[in-house]
Chains A and B, each alone.
Chain A
């Protein structure tokens, strides 16, 4: 249940950073919100969708981020306030439109919240979205606490309306997926009525006219940002070390300065308006600085821009040593952390880090080395992807031509790991498995002999794979697209997609079915149940013997979604009289090969057992056991 619509100004509650962002948008009076789900951003639109009806909003899970931005832009060119949220990869998808929208501007308020994922905790990359602000001549803000995230989003709408252009807020995992105190502000009582003023047009053409307008708007934003309360300095007038920090770096640095007792020696310049920079404030601090350390995630964006500002003003400034990612003082990748900032600041100030008892430290090291078996990620118990990848593995082995499976983005990206039997061989962007399979399928004309296959989830299919499938079909490429249809955007929290019978606001929606789309294109399309392993494997084998572009839908609901709605299908147990363990010759197939966490190996008995606290009751392992020792009974 979301608390973001609580009408209690002044009340202080615990909110997730993403909820604080959503609350800020509500307080700013948004009418429209749109996104394609992607962690760490998903809860922004998720929580707005929950309160959409109550708050009189239109909220949607769009088919992809570019369309989400276009949907929001329609609202914002009609005078409304609209919010778009996405993860860093999503901004790449939306960027083609963004880099034209910035030239025309808008007539209402449009805020893009992009949630970056330093260290790629739930991402394939850790790109730093802040570079887009400069590329697009748009203002960008970076919150460092949950309360500030809310306030900044509200302010971003003020900026956006004032400059008639998009304003970007960049969050990171440690803000978006953290929780903290947020003081609620008032919610607006009036709503704007959308009206597209047809006396005005929004065309990026010609850039010779629109580009200067974009520059002028950015200059106007710079003035507003410089006067905002999101930048500030705390510390001595002449610090021996000046830390310039943004985002999560602000909290980590501030705590370290306190803990090490360096308040009188080290200053902290917090930058909340990263682009354009608050130049006057920064120059004031540089005037008394000798040594500057940058604390930001991921790329040296602040660092580079502050250095450029220094270069422009160097005749009026002292000699300064700049330390950060360029100097190697801070790693040029990954997250910041309290431990890292403690080491760096202690080292630069010659401060001793309070040490722990040596025996304890030794015992702790022993704990980490000898008592903490690594937990590699695995498909959930009862996950249909495990069965699908097993069927693929079996079909490719039977085929014997060393077929290539091109992977894609979603839970099934974990197919690289042992529980997907390491079947996919590529992993890049949404839909790129289909595009690469389309390309590889044409290499048969040039002498390639390996079959081409790709796996793609249902949500990913709508997002970005359809153009690649059309491309393959039109060019008579030989490949099999296997759609792993688990009826959800599972990786990000089970959001609906265009194939779902409901929309984000819970209203009935006409599902655009995978098989109907493929049939309309004239592609041979079969549907199978991955839990019927032999049938699924034989179907894949047969399809890759054929030429042309083919689609196989392996349809079975996500085990987590299913578990929320329906009881277990089967009660499963191992008959100890039948399981003969290592004597079997099956190489402990159920545990060593199939690796479902619901199974366990009883070392003392030398037999498999089912862990009742974990087993999802799918019953697939019972079909795989060569001795029939795993018994499934209808629950």
Chain B
């Protein structure tokens, strides 16, 4: 990794699979000989809250489980307003963002007590806080593959395809076999490729 530690935030809403995504990234990189620390915030994560995983990658040492403010190098966001939330606290002018474009509305937005930001202005805000941004319709493509939960792997594939994470489809297949289920390898391989292809199709902003 060019930067050490390389700090990745995987963010989203409870139930979107960000904890698994960060675990797979970590498992793959530890197998490659790196020191990885992942801090996760969950407990009530299935229940609508913001969920964020901090993945800290180093060749030298085991870093603490939380990224200091303004020190994220890469943000993988399964939900756009969560990207803004993470960039607001952990972003810096060199941060690169890979963002799923589909909003998950908070219950207070659904009820009308709060409003969700205008989507175009939200995308502009994310771009303005990132050195480079990739917006991807990951959930829409995941639904085409049969399950919205695959958006997390699509995002991983996109980050790998853009050269932001040193992981390959075969690495993912091995980690899925070892840590999830051999039966899930094919669909996750497909999702990873969809992400890698998508990132090459969309212009980075």
Q: Are both chains from one complex?
A: yes
Report, as a range, how many residues of chain B touch the other chain: 35 or more
Of the listed stretches B29-37, B156-164, B187-195, chain A binds B29-37
Find residues 90-120 in chain B having any chain A CB closer than 8 Å to their own CB.
91-93, 102, 104-112, 114-117
Check: A192 CB closer than 8 A to any chain B CB: no
Pick from A178, A366, A375: contact of B37, CB below 8 A. Answer: A178
Most buried by B among A117, A356, A593: A356
Partner of A177, one of B42, B104, B129, B139: B42
Residues of B within 8 A of A14 (CB): 23, 26-27, 30, 36, 38
> What 0/1 pattern do residues 231 to 254 of A give for CB contact below 8 A with B?
000000000000000001001101
Q: Is the CB of A1 within 8 A of B15?
A: no
Judge whether A377 and B40 touch: CB under 8 Å. no
Cross-chain contact B30 with A12 (CB below 8 angstroms): yes
**Using Cβ atoms and an 8 Å threshold, which residues of chain B touch A584?**
none
Residues 1-42 (chain A) with a chain B CB within 8 angstroms: 1, 3, 12-14, 39-40
Task: Tell me whether A379 is interfacial, beta carbon within 8 Å.
Answer: yes
Partner of A600, one of B38, B42, B110, B115: B110
User: Nearest CB to that of A383 among chain B residues?
Assistant: B47
**Do B105 and A600 have beta carbons less than 8 Å apart?**
yes
Q: B8 near A: Cβ within 8 Å?
A: no
Identify the stretch in A48-56, A159-167, A335-343, A392-400 within 8 Å (CB) of chain B at 4 or more residues.
A335-343
Given A373-B116, A375-B50, A613-B148, A339:B68 Cβ within 8 A: yes
Interface-side segment among B80-88, B165-173, B196-204? B80-88
**Residues in B whose Cβ lies below 8 Å from that of A342:** 68
* A177 nearest CB neighbor, chain B only: B40
The A contact surface, by secondary structure, is mixed
Q: How far is the CA of A259 from the CA of B117 in the complex (A)?
A: 36
| Chain A neighbourhood of B178, CB < 8 A | 1, 3
B33 neighbours in A (Cβ, 8 Å): 12
A147 to B108, CA, bound (A): 41
Q: A251 with B64: in contact, given A372-B84, A372-B85 (CB under 8 Å)?
A: yes
In the bound complex, residues from chain A placing their C-beta under 8 Å from that of B39 are 174, 177-178
Q: How far is the CB of A65 from chain B (nearest CB, A)?
A: 18
| A255 CB within 8 Å of chain B | yes
Q: Tell me the bound Cα distance from A83 to B78 in angstroms.
A: 38
Q: Flag whether A446 is at the interface (Cβ < 8 A).
A: no
Q: Does A209 contact B (CB under 8 A)?
A: no
Q: Which A positions have Cβ atoms within 8 angstroms of B?
A: 1, 3, 12-14, 39-40, 117, 121-123, 145-147, 174-175, 177-181, 248, 251-252, 254-255, 259, 337-339, 342, 356-357, 360, 363-368, 370-380, 411, 414, 418-419, 560, 588, 591-593, 595, 597, 599-601, 611-614
Supplied contacts A360-B93, A613-B148, 7 more A-B pairs, CB within 8 Å = A255-B68, A337-B66, A372-B81, A372-B85, A373-B106, A373-B108, A614-B148
17 residue pairs of the A-B complex, CB under 8 angstroms, read A14-B23, A147-B62, A174-B64, A180-B37, A252-B64, A337-B66, A371-B125, A372-B85, A374-B114, A376-B107, A377-B44, A377-B48, A378-B107, A379-B48, A418-B111, A597-B105, A614-B148
The 4 closest A-B pairs by CB, nearest first: A122-B43, A251-B64, A368-B88, A178-B65
